[in-house]
Structure formats: C-alpha cells, structure tokens
C-alpha cells in the first residue's frame, strides 16, 4: 500500500512537471497525500534517503519533556515575520499547510531540515513533493538561523500541546 501511494504521488508529480506549460485538466485526479513518513520510506527512487529525518544538517534533536518558554517566544516572533503569511496555526491550509498537528506527524529533524534546507527537501522528499503538488507554491527558504529554526520548532510543539 505504502509503495502504491508513493507511486501515485510520483506519477502525479511527473504529470505536473511534464505539463507545466498547460493548464491542468479538470478530470485529473488530485494527488493522494498520505502522511506516513514517520515510517521509513522504501521508495525505490531514494534508497539512501531518510524520509523520517529528511535531508539536512539536523540528524538528532533531543527534546526535553517540558516546553521552553523563551524558545517559544522567539519562535513566535520568527513565525509572525517569516511564516505567518502562508501558514495558519490551525490545520487549515492557507498558501502552505496549517501547522496544527505537524509535530505529531513529523520528526523534529524532518521539520527543522525542511525549514533550513527547503530546496533539497522539496526536490527529494516524497511527502514534500506531494505537498508541492497540492499547494503549487514552492516554500521559500526564509533563511532562519539555527537558533530561529529551533525556536520555531518549539513554537510548533507548543501550538500542538495547547487545546
């Protein structure tokens, strides 16, 4: 099943790329996005790719049980300047997907790699590619510092812990 879904996603993407000079056809099926990347990928196209942690500098993020209020505050500031234009804090998609639940679905490493190594992740990561096919806007790399990246992740954790 897993494999099947990825193939469908890849096919969808291939279609999107091949026909990007054409308007999309009405009857084309929407790409299926099934978020299962907390499980290791066995996708043939990316044998060496770690779809749990993604590609980038973050390979092991240790999280404390308690949330760090200072980091949350820093993350909120970054969010408002660089992220809020496209991402809501609910699960509602604006330009990009809403953030609610993201830390439950994705590993800290994946999220922080996606934030800091956006282009490579969009090019390599099956889930990111699938999201691109849905959102149709490549997420810009907003060039967050290491500290800002970590702060934003803490802000996301806090967002998922509340309510």
Partner 1 sequence: MRLCSIAVLLVAFASCKPRNEAGAITAGAAEKVYVAPGKYDEFYNFVSGGFNGQVSVYGLPSGRLLKIIPVFSVMPENGYGYSEETKPMLETSHGSLPWDDQHHLELSQKDGSPDGRWLFANANNTPRVARINLATFRTEEIIELPNSAGNHSSPFCTENTEYVVAGTRFSVPVGDKQDVPISDYKKSFNGTVSFIKIDSSNGRMSLAFQLLTPAINFDLSHAGKGPSHDWFFFSCYNVEQAHTLLEVNASQRDKDFIMAVNWKKAEEFIRNNKGTLKSSRYAHNVYDEKTHSATSTIENKVLTLDPSQLKDFVYFIPCPKSPHGVDIDPSGEYIVGSGKLAALIPVFSFTKMMAAIEKKDFDGDYQGIPVIRYESALYGEVQKPGLGPLHTEFDGKGNAYTSFFVSSEVVKWNIKDLKVLDRKPTYYSVGHLCIPGGDTKKPFGKYLIAYNKITKDRYLPTGPELAQSAQLYDISGDKMELLLDFPTVGEPHYAQAIPADLIKNNSLKYFRIEDNKHPYVTKGEKEAKVVREGNKVHVYITSIRSHFTPDNIEGIRVGDEVYFHVTNLEQDWDIPHGFAVKGAANAEILIMPGETCTLKWVPEAEGVYPIYCTDFCSALHQEMQGYVRVSRADANTPLKYGTNLPDSAVAKN
List interacting residues with partner 1 (CB under 8 A): 20, 80-82, 84-86, 94-95, 136-138, 140-143
Which of 38, 136 has the CB closer to partner 1? 136
Whole-number minimum distance, CB 118 to partner 1, in Å?
8
Q: How many CA atoms lie within 13 A of 113 on its CB side?
A: 25
Which of 7, 119 has the CB closer to partner 1? 119
Whole-number minimum distance, CB 77 to partner 1, in Å?
9
Which of 32, 86 has the CB closer to partner 1? 86
* Residue 153 backbone phi and psi in degrees, to 5: -65, -40
78, 147 Cβ separation under 8 angstroms: no
34, with CB counted inside 10 A (0-12, 13-18, 19+), is: middle
Q: Three-state SS across 3-19?
A: HHHHHHHHHHHHHHHHC
Helices 146-161 & 108-116 angle (0-180, nearest 10): 130
Whole-number minimum distance, CB 148 to partner 1, in Å?
9
Whole-number minimum distance, CB 128 to partner 1, in Å?
16
Whole-number minimum distance, CB 54 to partner 1, in Å?
18
Which of 61, 60, 37 lies closest to 50 in space, CA to CA? 37
Which of 35, 119 has the CB closer to partner 1? 119
Which of 11, 95 has the CB closer to partner 1? 95
């Amino acid at each position: 099943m897993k494999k099947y879904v990825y193939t469908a996603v890849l096919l969808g993407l291939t279609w999107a790329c091949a026909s990007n000079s054409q308007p999309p056809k009405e009857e084309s099926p929407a790409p299926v996005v099934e978020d299962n990347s907390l499980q290791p990928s066995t996708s043939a196209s990316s044998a060496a790719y770690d779809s749990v942690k993604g590609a980038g500098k973050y390979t092991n993020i240790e999280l404390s049980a308690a949330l760090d209020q200072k980091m949350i505050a820093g993350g909120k500031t970054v969010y408002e300047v660089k992220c809020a234009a496209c991402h809501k804090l609910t699960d509602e998609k604006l330009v990009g997907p809403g953030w609610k639940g993201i830390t439950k679905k994705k590993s800290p490493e994946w999220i922080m790699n996606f934030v800091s190594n956006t282009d490579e992740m969009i090019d390599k990561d099956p889930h990111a590619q699938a999201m691109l096919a849905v959102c149709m806007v490549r997420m810009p790399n907003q060039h967050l510092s290491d500290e800002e990246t970590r702060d934003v992740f803490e802000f996301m954790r806090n967002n998922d812990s509340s309510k």
